[in-house]
């Protein structure tokens, strides 16, 4: 749990920087949110597919 928290907090400045850069280049916030949501769904689906322990409920 602590590693997840550290990764989340550690990646926040990078996320802010990339979002600010995309906005300054002229990318709309709608496109940024859509891209992020699709990326998150793909990552979650791939983890769900590759790790059978997530699919089973005890």
pLDDT digits (tens, 9 = 90+) for 11-53: 899 999 999 999 999 999 999 999 999 999 999 899 888 888 7
pLDDT of 17 reads 95
Q: Within its chain, how far is the Cα of 51 from the centroid?
A: 18
pLDDT of 4 reads 81
pLDDT of 24 reads 97
Using the structure block, give the residue that is written with the tokens 């990078």.
14
pLDDT of 47 reads 85
10 Cβ contact partners less than 8 Å away, ≥ 6 residues apart: none
pLDDT of 58 reads 63
């Amino acid at each position: 749990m602590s590693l997840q928290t550290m990764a989340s907090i550690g990646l926040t400045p990078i996320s802010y920087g990339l979002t600010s850069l995309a906005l300054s280049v002229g990318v709309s916030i709608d496109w940024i949110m859509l891209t992020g949501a699709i990326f998150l769904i793909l990552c979650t689906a791939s983890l769900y597919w590759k790790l059978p322990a997530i699919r089973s409920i005890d």
